[in-house]
A and B are shown apart, each in its own frame.
Chain A
Amino acid sequence: MKKCTRLLCIPFGLAITLSACSNEDASTPTSDSSGSNNNEETIELRVVTTMAGTDPGGLAFNELIEDFQNENDHISIINESQSADAGVIRTKVNTDFSSNNEPDLMFYFNTVDAQGIIDQGLVIDLEKAEDLNLEGFHELMYEQQRNENGGLYAVPQSGFYEALFVNEALFEEHGVELPTTWELYEEAIRAFAETDIIPVAVSTEDSYYLVEHYILAAGGIENFRAELSEQDEAWAEGLDKIAEHAEMGAFPVDAATIDLGASAQLFHSEQAAMLFEGSWAYGGMSDAGIADNVRPYYMPVYGDGGETGDLVGGASQGWFISTKAYEDDSKHDAVVDFFNFITSEESIVKIADATMQVPAKGSLSELPETVASGHALSEEATGVEAPINDRIYPEAFTHIRQSVPEIVNGSKTGAQVIEEAAELE
């Protein structure tokens, strides 16, 4: 009995020790970020964004948080941002929302990724909230955030485009005409395939941009916008065209095993003349010292349903407010203040300035030539549509993407892959 009592004392003693440690924190008076003490209770706001890791917007976002806290010393922002790489952010957001631990505000993908959260009513329809400032957004980007149910659950921060990045210096050096039309694009493939320069740096296994652009080329924006269930012929034709071009020697020998990073590396080291990428790729090209040689081009469209000038792009990420935080009287005002601050033109331009993306409000000035030409590409596009990847069931898109090597080796056809993907939806 004596032994037993002693044993039970161990956890009890441990509990006292731990509570003594925690009391130390609790007894410390709360101080705000500016170091001043006041009677106003500090309100903590948890914010999740993708502005972390290698995202160049991370630094600007942290500075904005600091500015906001300096102006609102009763609000403390807990920044739980995670890099968008490898889907970590998706797991975090889904886990947080499904375990009743959602962030108060978040900057997240307003695509199929957010649909479950929206359907559950866990984020608010921003247009139904009276105290938010939704003025001044560029119309196209703003409307692209609108959900199928007509609600607006997120507002954009910046837009993006995907394009054919062309190393013009290599084209000039080898006397090849720039790929402004489909015929010239194919001519460039033939010409570079005869040299030691890879025509297009792609990964057929990790073929996000390749799939999007070849489907766009085969059917223009009209067919590109089709639902997967329609099994649009242009989609199948685009996939088959990848195999045809692989046969012509358009892609790296090891395209079926390298990933996007490795294929970009071929372009950065000027071992490849063209690359399909998004507007965020400018940073990598700049670091590699080739940005001045590179210009983004529209994917040449050869099929019916559009024209060269159509673009994959838009604004797929936006700022959300959680319903729980908005309806919490103790947090409501702080949430509204931070939302209005971070979506103000000044904040949006500051982050866009760091990322070189097209801002959702206002515009950037003094842009490097490559970035400026990308912005012009975006502004002058004959049609813009969000990537297929953002619109269809993830499993279906992965099936299309990962089947590209099988289309290339001839074991599957484009139509067969599209049919299989449609069955997964």
Chain B
Amino acid sequence: MKSDKLYAFLFLAPAVAITAVFLYYPFFDNIRQSFYRTDGFFNSTFIGLENYRRLLEDDIALGATLNSLELMLYVSIFQVGIALALAVMVDSIRHGVRFFRTTFFFPVVISGAAIGLLFTLIYNYNNGLLNEILVRLGLERVLWLTEQSSLYMVAIPTIWSYVGFYFIILLTAISKIPADYYEAAKLEGINGFQKTIKITLPLIVTDMKTCLILAITGALKIFELVYIITRGGPARSSEVLGTYMYQKAFVDSAVGYGATLAILMVIIGLSLALITNILLKRDDVTY
């Protein structure tokens, strides 16, 4: 028994060491840096809570937070919603399940940078795909990325790129539901829609909860698509916390304030995950 513990310790030690060095140390150092006006290298002055005071007065940070929350809403509704609809539909067909599974999952394996570049080319005003189609149809070019539309335009690829991930989770959950339930319901005369509402959805609610929490916390990490497609513009209309933090820490060399924004992201992420957990709290379904 004692040697088992030793084995457990030895096998866990590398993972613990790596996590400590690459996750916990940077995290706590990030908290420390948030109390400094620093470029992260040579210029470092302790300023106490000044960065936090600045954060409270920063209109751009407020706008970025609201944009992040708006994006989170779209992601939660559409990523999980579309994934659920696709999973239910794919589960109900007899042929081509593998094809649809691969097709819907495919965007997940493409890097965010590539998807960002792809959509940059699609939205481009002068030579973009959408405007080329419009011109061929004899219509006027459209400025797709405006202050009013930019957040929606970055939400589209963000949703599209990760629908497949939740689709696979939900499809797997649906496929685990015992066939007996459906057979019994069929004998009772239940139709397809009722089958989904009364059997499928209640039985996969735990997985949907997981998907929602993943979507909500994942939305806070959205960075590369926004950075590549709009860089937070025009006029900061699509600025999100990820792009603003990156700009402060790495473009402006204001690592201290960037660290403060990172803390804000952690607080928002943890709070929302907690709230989601409480709101969706119910006994796990087992069968």
Contacts and interface: CB of A to CB of B under 8 A. Distances in A.
Interface stretch (A143-151, A176-184, A403-411): A403-411
A125 interface: no
A205 B3 CA distance: 62
A117 B252 CA distance: 17
Given A116-B43, A394-B251, A254 B143 contact: yes
Interface in A194-215: 205-206
A10 B28 CA distance: 34
A30 interface: no
A115 B42 CA distance: 9
Given A257-B230, A394-B252, A409-B235, A119 B42 contact: yes
B126 A254 contact: yes
A192 to B, nearest CB: 16
B233 A94 contact: no
B250 interface: yes
A198 B236 CA distance: 24
A254 B40 contact: no
Interface string B109-145: 0000000000000001110000000000000000101
Given A7-B10, A409-B147, A256 B41 contact: no
A321 to B, nearest CB: 18
A257 B233 contact: yes
B39 interface: yes
A205 B231 contact: yes
Given A94-B39, A94-B42, A406 B236 contact: yes
B129 to A, nearest CB: 15
A98 interface: yes
A111 interface: no
A266 B126 CA distance: 9
Contacts of B276: none
B253 interface: yes
By DSSP majority rule, is chain B's interface helix, strand, loop, or mixed? loop
Nearest to A118: B42
Contacts of B39: 94, 116
B248 interface: yes
A117 B43 CA distance: 9
Residue of B10, B40, B233 with most partner-chain A CB within 10 A:
B233
A4 interface: yes
A408 B235 CA distance: 9
Nearest to B59: A420
Given A3-B3, A94-B42, A116-B43, A395 B233 contact: no
Query: Could you say which interface size class chain B belongs to?
Result: 20 to 34
B235 A405 contact: yes
A266 B124 CA distance: 12
A395 B248 contact: yes
A323 interface: no
Given A116-B42, A254-B145, A405-B235, A395 B254 contact: yes
B42 A259 contact: no
Contacts of B234: 205, 256-257, 405, 409
By DSSP majority rule, is chain A's interface helix, strand, loop, or mixed? helix
Given A7-B10, A254-B126, A120 B42 contact: yes
A271 interface: yes
Interface in B155-182: none
Residue of A95, A98, A256 with most partner-chain B CB within 10 A:
A256
Contacts of A117: 42
B6 interface: yes
B251 A398 contact: yes
Contacts of A1: 3
A253 interface: yes
Nearest to A404: B235
Interface string A307-325: 0000000000000000000
Contacts of A259: 231
Given A120-B42, A406-B236, A395 B6 contact: no
Interface in B198-217: none
Contacts of B24: none
A395 B42 contact: no
A97 interface: yes
Contact of B41 (A7, A95, A262, A406): A95
Contacts of A411: 235
A7 B10 CA distance: 9
A116 B45 CA distance: 13
A398 B254 CA distance: 11
Contacts of B46: none
Contacts of B230: 257
A252 interface: yes
Contacts of A98: 41-42
B25 interface: no
Contacts of A116: 39, 41-43
Interface string A86-106: 010011001101100000000
Nearest to B231: A205
A83 interface: no
B106 interface: no
B32 to A, nearest CB: 15
B247 interface: yes
B125 A402 contact: no
A259 B117 CA distance: 13
Given A3-B3, A98-B41, A409-B234, 5 more contacts: A7-B10, A253-B143, A254-B124, A402-B233, A402-B247
Which 3 pairs of residues, A with B, have the shortest CB-CB distance?
A: A116-B42, A256-B234, A395-B252
20 contacts: A1-B3, A87-B251, A94-B39, A97-B42, A98-B41, A98-B42, A115-B43, A119-B42, A205-B231, A254-B125, A256-B234, A257-B150, A257-B230, A257-B233, A266-B126, A394-B251, A394-B254, A395-B253, A402-B236, A405-B235
